[in-house]
Amino acid sequence: MSNPRNNNSFHVIVIGGGITGTGVARDCALRGLKVLLIERYDITHGATGRNHGLMHSGARYAVSDPANAAECMAENLILRRIARHCVEETDGLFISLPGDDLNYQHRFADACVGAGINAEIISTREAIALEPAVNPNLIGAVRVPDAAIDPFRLTLANVLDAEAHGATILTHHAVTRILTSGSATVGVVATDENGNRAEFHAPVIVNAAGIWGQHIAQLAGVTLNMFPARGALLIFGHRVNNMVINRCRKPSNGDILVPDDIVCVLGTTSDRVPLTEIDNTHVTNHEVDLLLSEGVKLVPRLASTRILRAYAGIRPLVAADSAATGRDISRGIVCIDHALRDGLEGFITITGGKMMTYRLMAQQATDLVCKKLGSKARCTTADTPLPGSEPGPETNEEDELLQPVSFAHRAAEGRHGSRIDMIHDERPEQRALVCECEHVSTAEVDYAISQLRASSLARLRRRTRLGMGTCQGKMCACRAAAMMAQRDGKPEQHIADLNTFLSERWKGIRPVAWGATLSEAQLSALTYQALCGTNLISSPTPSTLPQNEV
Amino acid sequence: MKFNTIIIGGGLSGLTAGITLAEQGQRVAILATGQSRLHFTSGSLELLGYNPDGSVVTAPLQECESLPASHPYQVIGTQALRQFAPHAQELLAAAGIKVRGNAEANHYRISPLGIPKPAWLTLDDYITADSQLSFPFRRVLLVSIAGYIDFPIALLRHGLQQCGLECNVAEVRTPAIENLRTSQTEMRATNIARILSEQAAIDQLSVEINRAISGEEAILIPAVIGIADDNNLKYLRRMVTRPLFCVSTLPPAVTGVRLQTRLRKRFLNLGGTFMLGSTVRKANFSADRIASVTASNLPDQKLSADNFILATGSFMGNGLVATQDSIIEPIMNLDVDATQGRDSWTSPRLNDPQPYMEFGVHTDSSLHPAINGHIVPNLWAIGAVLSGHNPISLADSTGVDMITALFAANDIISHNI
């Protein structure tokens, strides 16, 4: 294996900063390859940041796709080990409601057991005792090892480990050309938001761009037919359930409610959208009403719970047939060696699959990369904990009683795992809360700015949850913007960023703007627009956005 | 309990109406839930800051003439606006609130981000610029309190520099304020104001400020002093060696709380009854007139009066409620002006004028609301619950509050003589 010649040469270029791409970058870096990852926006911008945060047991696919279900379960067990700081072990219920077919429940439970998923039919009384939020009229329940997982945290951990092993992560750069020589790809041209171009070279390119993978394949001159299946979700203002609650029936709209930190997430819809619509994440009133009417059947209390926002992502399914919704398309992993399929050497596409199986997807893609490069390095990701999930010293409860830590410290520990030691909150002012909803302290914001390159409010939100809670950034956004301006001396950029952040939050609030959500939106407008004058700030030009991070 | 007038809502509009009626010897009760929009305000009041086309208003009285007919100023007539604008200033003065400005010409207030915004009246101790955006000084010392993060100093400084001020920053610590810090959420404006209500704490602060002063001509501090009155602020201004002015902070607004406190005191001194924690759930009618209302904390009491004023605010005050598909006035189901269909309530772009801001109770030219088209003759609606105005795009909220309150109170008095 040759050594790349210069700063612009790598062994492998990975395109896409979602969970799949960052997983591939990490695996490649752990195997000693010199890696460049290129992402058009920020990490988790696509489907990775726009899903349920559900750590499937595989049960949902047990009936329709047992092989995929077994794969999910195996990966589920691995993630509990290597990414424990990203996982909340909630367990899940599949409930049957009046009118549902209880025969399906038995078929479902049998299929789960067949796929190695520890599913257990329990009494309705036991289900209500385990999860008081569940619809009390349920007629059946199956307990499964579902869990909640934080996609932002998981992706960030992969980035941190990839970087720790020498990988270069280049965000806010779009791949605008794929360079070929003869019948092989040899590199890419990446363009930043100001139109500046740079060339990067590598003998192998991995297309991990999710739904945008079709476009990337096109740039390489090969055909990849994706099936854009849009899924809309709702976030509620507090956590009404402690277990994942699924409907025990053929997968349909609004039939999963996942607890997520202090909130909960209801989803999803599934509609095929044209490829021209994949950048449109606007949620319609129809989708909101549909989700809500189904969600209240799972958990009646949702009818009176404030909805914080609505969002949508596009599942990167690979087109298999002319199905209308995408529900029937396999969630199996698709790893394409374009040398075999299209005679294009050096180009690999990794797609399909699920967030749950990202590690396995990365392993398969990296195996292929290594084969092409003649490397015999073996995959270690199933056994190597991610940064934050390394085994730490056992906490001594007595010590904690003697030296109580703040709630924000605990919250930060939950978010950053064993990296908590890098967050310095020894002095009282470092413990001051910037975001009260999610308990993000000044110290944690400082850590995210200095160690996680949180150079904008959106980047800070993805790295700390700041602004994700009940108030949706009402107070914390301005505080954090001022802190960033204080640190980097670029107030003009951060005032514009504040306006951008609030405008972006509004997109998700607007489809659910009634009741308390509309009242809160009005209060937010009175604070930011009437009092502060953020509506008078001109929109940022690309030159003020966070730039090249090489 | 029987009153001449019962006012539902204890914010700026309710208090303005209550004071005016009590000044005329009426027996008045204000039923208030507790929260007020004043807690989220700056140190300024606005009559009209922007025209519907977005341009800055320099002469509010004059430019009000071209507002659409649905705007409350047009509903009551701009002649009424000219009549009552000076009364508003007198009413504030009588409550011990000293302001600068007039309705003939706007001046500029400075937002917590250092952005100038047109204003009608501003508290005397706040920084302002004239209509040409010029200040009486050029070099200022911007004082921040260490660890107080609701004063976005880096952004404010930039904004002030954009306004042409030379701006040095000094971060101060005093022992009294340091004590607050032991709790993670205590460094908020109202908590700091509580600490700074001790004269000794002001002494400490003035020493630190004077130590930081070098060649600056003026001192700017966050508005965190004087939750009940401005005595300690006056004291600090005497103790420092340069002219000192306040800049508004992020909420909670100490000045807004003070404004409400002063107005409530004035109302109480005039013999008014202020019932806090009283959320009105229901009005009881006798023919087309309201006979009494029932409040949440006095479920068995019928609170009767000859006249009623609805001053419950907009959505955030629960004066209006949006269900999944309609806009309602929740107490009496009054006729509202609102568009049909949730899609039409909001604009996709946050900074465009939002239609829902203009939703509200529909009234006749005397501010009487209606139910199914039938006017309720002994009910007046005032302030943010009214339709046709926009606190963001027109910057008219406090003006609408005070002017419509004065109009309604005078209408009641003229009919009860």
Provide the chain B residues 274-333 that lie in CB contact (below 8 A) with chain A.
Answer: 314-316, 318, 321-325
Contact of A482 with chain B, judged by CB distance below 8 Å, is answered with yes
Instruction: Note whether B113 contacts A486, CB cutoff 8 Å.
Output: no
Contact of A526 with chain B, judged by CB distance below 8 Å, is answered with yes
CB within 8 Å of A446: residues ≥ 6 apart: A423, A424, A430, A483, A487
The H-or-E segment that residue B408 falls in is helix B397-415
CATH number of A88-148+229-312: 3.30.9.10
Residue in B with minimal Cα distance to A288: B324
Q: Which amino acid is at B270?
A: L
Coil, strand or helix at B163: coil
Residue A445: pLDDT above 60?
A: yes
Task: Kindly list the domain boundaries of chain B, sorted by start residue.
Answer: 2-97+258-415, 127-247
Half-sphere exposure of A84 (CA within 13 A, CB side): 12
Q: Which residue has the higher pLDDT, A547 or B44?
A: B44
Coil, strand or helix at B388: coil
Rounded distance, CA B13 to CA B303, Å?
Answer: 20
Rounded distance, CA A371 to CA A28, Å?
Answer: 12
pLDDT at A133: 97
Contact of B349 with chain A, judged by CB distance below 8 Å, is answered with yes
| Residues A465, A466, A469, A473, Cα dihedral to 10° | -150
Rounded distance, CA A84 to CA B80, Å?
Answer: 68
Global model pTM greater than 0.90: yes
Contact of A293 with chain B, judged by CB distance below 8 Å, is answered with no
pLDDT at B79: 95
| Backbone phi and psi for residue A294, each to the nearest 5 degrees, phi listed first | -80, -40
Chain B residues lying within 8 Å of A530, measured CB to CB: 391-392, 395, 397
**What is the separation, in whole angstroms, between the first and last Cα of chain B?**
22
Instruction: Note whether A518 contacts B150, CB cutoff 8 Å.
Output: no
Read off the pLDDT of residues A143-176 as tens digits, 9 standing for 90 and up.
999 999 999 999 999 999 999 999 999 999 999 9
Instruction: Note whether A432 contacts B184, CB cutoff 8 Å.
Output: yes
Among the partner residues B40, B147, B322, nearest to A526 by beta-carbon distance: B40
Instruction: Note whether B350 contacts A530, CB cutoff 8 Å.
Output: no
Half-sphere exposure of B274 (CA within 13 A, CB side): 23
Residue A42: pLDDT above 70?
A: yes
Instruction: Note whether A482 contacts B152, CB cutoff 8 Å.
Output: yes
Rounded distance, CA B160 to CA B140, Å?
Answer: 9
Residue A1: pLDDT above 60?
A: no
Instruction: Note whether B324 contacts A442, CB cutoff 8 Å.
Output: no
Q: How many helices (H) and strands (E) would you count in chain B?
A: 11, 23
Among the partner residues A503, A518, A526, nearest to B37 by beta-carbon distance: A526
| Backbone phi and psi for residue A417, each to the nearest 5 degrees, phi listed first | 55, -135
Q: Of all residues in chain A, what percent are helix, strand and coil, respectively (each to 5)?
A: 40, 20, 35
Instruction: Note whether B250 contacts A475, CB cutoff 8 Å.
Output: yes
Half-sphere exposure of A349 (CA within 13 A, CB side): 31
Query: Residue A123: which pLDDT band, with cuts at 50, 70 and 90?
Result: very high
Residue in B with minimal Cα distance to A487: B154
Residue A325: pLDDT above 80?
A: no
pLDDT at B386: 98
CA-based nearest residue to A68, from A352, A267, A324, A337: A352
Neighbour count for residue A22 (Cβ, 10 Å): 31
| Sign of the alpha-carbon torsion through A138, A144, A147, A151 | negative
CA-based nearest residue to B292, from B21, B29, B17: B29
Q: What's the rounded mean pLDDT across residues A28-50?
A: 96
**What is the separation, in whole angstroms, between the first and last Cα of chain A?**
24
Q: Are B177 and B201 in contact (CB under 8 A)?
A: yes
Among the partner residues B149, B155, B350, nearest to A485 by beta-carbon distance: B155
Task: Find where tokens 């067990």 sit.
Answer: A77
Instruction: Note whether A531 contacts B322, CB cutoff 8 Å.
Output: no
Contact of B397 with chain A, judged by CB distance below 8 Å, is answered with yes
pLDDT at B192: 94
Q: Give B237's strand partners.
A: none
Query: Residue A396: which pLDDT band, with cuts at 50, 70 and 90?
Result: low
Does the domain at B127-247 match CATH 3.30.450? Answer given as no
Q: What fold characterizes domain A12-46+152-225+332-373?
A: FAD/NAD(P)-binding domain (3.50.50)
Q: What is the DSSP letter of B50?
A: B
Read off the pLDDT of residues A202-231 as tens digits, 9 standing for 90 and up.
999 999 999 999 999 999 999 999 999 999
pLDDT at A404: 64
Q: What is the DSSP letter of B126?
A: B
Task: Kindly list the domain boundaries of chain A, sorted by start residue.
Answer: 12-46+152-225+332-373, 88-148+229-312, 398-544
What sections of A376-530 are H helices per DSSP? Answer: 397-402, 407-416, 442-451, 457-464, 476-488, 491-509, 515-525
| Sign of the alpha-carbon torsion through A420, A423, A429, A434 | negative
The alpha carbon of residue B398 and the mean position of all alpha carbons in its chain are separated, in whole angstroms, by: 5
| Sign of the alpha-carbon torsion through A249, A334, A352, A144 | positive
Instruction: Note whether B149 contacts A479, CB cutoff 8 Å.
Output: yes
Read off the pLDDT of residues A355-372 as tens digits, 9 standing for 90 and up.
999 999 999 999 999 999
Contact of B395 with chain A, judged by CB distance below 8 Å, is answered with yes
Q: What's the rounded mean pLDDT across residues A393-416?
A: 74
Read off the pLDDT of residues A329-341 as tens digits, 9 standing for 90 and up.
777 899 999 999 9
Instruction: Note whether B184 contacts A518, CB cutoff 8 Å.
Output: no
pLDDT at B178: 86
Instruction: Note whether A522 contacts B357, CB cutoff 8 Å.
Output: yes
Neighbour count for residue B56 (Cβ, 10 Å): 16
Q: Are A157 and A387 in contact (CB under 8 A)?
A: yes
Residue in B with minimal Cα distance to A502: B350
Coil, strand or helix at B203: helix
Half-sphere exposure of A194 (CA within 13 A, CB side): 10
Contact of A548 with chain B, judged by CB distance below 8 Å, is answered with no
CATH number of B2-97+258-415: 3.50.50.60
Q: What's the rounded mean pLDDT across residues A427-452?
A: 92
Tell which phi-psi region holds residue A116, choosing left (phi > 0), alpha (psi between -120 and 50) or beta: left
CB within 8 Å of B400: residues ≥ 6 apart: B13, B72, B73, B383, B384, B386, B389
Among the partner residues B154, B182, B343, nearest to A482 by beta-carbon distance: B154
pLDDT at A541: 46
Name the stretches of chain B with pLDDT < 50.
none
